[in-house]
Structure 1
């Protein structure tokens, strides 16, 4: 261990003492003021019964996946070490953990653990998690500092012709479509035209071509569009999915599916593939009346 490695541990006692002293100086009125003004701690606008109902719909839509109940915190760097994102976007703590900001990163850790325990065996995981993010809240109705995500993850060995990725994307999309349809029926909001946007690396178009063809074949009601993949977060493939909602039939892209390198890097095997996806359950709650109809 280097001096730099030891330094955070050496400071932890002092930081904990500082936190104790800061808490001791606070008055009840300070707590109430923060509760009223700080979006990080404020209660969600989504009714808890609605949230629990959406959780159940999501998990029931993924019977082929092991449902994992994650801890509220993950190892420090779970987001910024694996993905090209800033540590400033997550709530770090004095201890070597951070508040979960993306369950897909944490599912990658669990998938890697399982891959190591049983090499060659496919891993299929899902979870529902209330995440907290520190970057500016995106504009638009339904976006908040903390929110509910339903995530899926598939890990396994690479196969010829990108068969693992193609199969995983189609499976994820089928689950998310069931979630949307079930929420539409339960909460009474209409669902219009569906669209998938396949974004692939222009230098490696074959994966995108195969995925687009598979989506069109499996879901003939879905319009499939193609775009170039931007950024370095995804490994050559990102698929967005959305539907038209509301009285004006506005298209909302609410599902994100993609291939990332995380599990292969965690286990030190480039042949291991990882496909992950997520849907914002909180957004589904805003499309309807807000409470289950039955």
Structure 2
């Protein structure tokens, strides 16, 4: 079902005297031609800019401005967390600043308006786990990698940009995350879910114990997407009893379709202050990208800016 045009679009249609301009541009013009058209439009617009107006745009655009953070401390923390993950057999990957257009909205329940889209068929990375999932799926599709005998484990640190307005302390228009993605195959008995989940949790435990001398707490919440989500959740918890990590379970949120089976939240206390510092869970992105129900994927991330 097509959505009704907003009041802004109705005004634009009326001023230009062109009905359904969005429909014309999306359905009547090939993507390459649309890029050519928009490139010319923005080239002509920049010709009309003067330096004073450029400065004014910088001053009024929160997305392009730097944030107040100790950059040296942030860079050191990036190295520290990547080394810890690497010691757990996760391969660090340097991602591109941009991803294919629709990298989040096509496979996950994300509104494209929250993403900084470009006119060259790309978008500024708003979630590195989506780009890692694409990278893994590409390697699996081409035969460069296999997840049948062992999992594919990738990690990265990346600056993210999201365009929605956050009116909360510590919420920034661009921010640094440490992310992990594990890919595997379903072999029954929730083997992938049990093992991959606790691999991620073990790394977070080591990060906070090593860098902040603090323990972590994990809060689980059930999600849909599995035939027996309660049974899967129970098996995952039982598998982690030997890790001596505090785990609690809150009410499931089956209406939340972003994660499948379960979502987890990582909480830690540093210098007496509690931080809800990251989250993760299982997703069906690789199943969609590779058209295979046997594919399994877990993603997770913690925020580094707040830790600095």
What's 1:127 paired with? 156
Secondary structure at the counterpart of residue 190 of structure 2: helix
What's 1:256 paired with? 279
Secondary structure at the counterpart of residue 279 of structure 2: strand
* 1:35 to 1:73, Cα distance in 2 relative to 1, 3 A: same
What's 1:61 paired with? 84
Task: Give the root-mean-square deviation of aligned CA atoms.
Answer: 2.0
What's 1:160 paired with? 188
The answer to whether the Cα contact below 8 Å between 2:220 and 2:263 also exists between their aligned partners in 1 is: yes
Secondary structure at the counterpart of residue 248 of structure 2: strand
Kindly tell me the number of residue pairs found equivalent between the two proteins.
273
* 1:19 to 1:242, Cα distance in 2 relative to 1, 3 A: same
* 1:227 to 1:218, Cα distance in 2 relative to 1, 3 A: farther
Quote the offset at 1:222 in angstroms. 1.8
User: Do residues 178 (structure 1) and 201 (structure 2) align?
Assistant: no
TM-score (norm 1): 0.86
The answer to whether the Cα contact below 8 Å between 1:195 and 1:225 also exists between their aligned partners in 2 is: no
The answer to whether the Cα contact below 8 Å between 1:170 and 1:218 also exists between their aligned partners in 2 is: no
Q: Distance in 2 between matches of 1:266 and 1:163?
A: 22
Q: 1:225 aligns with which of 227, 249, 272?
A: 249
User: Do residues 209 (structure 1) and 234 (structure 2) align?
Assistant: yes
Secondary structure at the counterpart of residue 228 of structure 1: coil
Quote the offset at 1:219 in angstroms. 3.0
Q: Deviations over 1:51-96 (max 9, x none)?
A: 2111101101111111111101101100100101111010111111
What's 1:194 paired with? 216
Quote the offset at 1:135 in angstroms. 1.3
Q: Distance in 2 between matches of 1:138 and 1:54?
A: 26
The answer to whether the Cα contact below 8 Å between 1:131 and 1:149 also exists between their aligned partners in 2 is: yes
The answer to whether the Cα contact below 8 Å between 1:151 and 1:276 also exists between their aligned partners in 2 is: yes
Q: Distance in 2 between matches of 1:221 and 1:79?
A: 32
Greater Cα radius of gyration, structure 1 or 2 = 2
Q: Distance in 2 between matches of 1:182 and 1:145?
A: 29
Q: Deviations over 1:25-50 (max 9, x none)?
A: 22222232233332110012112212
What's 2:95 paired with? 70
Q: 1:143 aligns with which of 159, 166, 171?
A: 171
The answer to whether the Cα contact below 8 Å between 2:94 and 2:156 also exists between their aligned partners in 1 is: yes
Q: Distance in 1 between matches of 2:121 and 2:245?
A: 47
The answer to whether the Cα contact below 8 Å between 2:208 and 2:216 also exists between their aligned partners in 1 is: no
Q: Deviations over 1:234-278 (max 9, x none)?
A: 11111111112344x4x3221212000011211111101001111
Q: Deviations over 1:112-134 (max 9, x none)?
A: 12223144242111111101001
Q: Distance in 1 between matches of 2:91 and 2:28?
A: 36
What's 2:134 paired with? 109
Q: 2:289 aligns with which of 242, 248, 266?
A: 266
Query: Which runs of no fewer than 5 residues in structure 1 stay unpaired?
Result: 186-190, 286-294
Query: Which runs of no fewer than 5 residues in structure 2 stay unpaired?
Result: 1-25
* 1:200 to 1:87, Cα distance in 2 relative to 1, 3 A: same
Aligned ranges 1:42-61 → 2 under 5 Å? 42-61=65-84
Deviating above 3 A after TM superposition, structure 1's stretches of 4 or more consecutive aligned residues are 5-8
The answer to whether the Cα contact below 8 Å between 1:57 and 1:182 also exists between their aligned partners in 2 is: no
Quote the offset at 1:177 in angstroms. 2.1
* 1:17 to 1:224, Cα distance in 2 relative to 1, 3 A: same
What's 1:244 paired with? 269
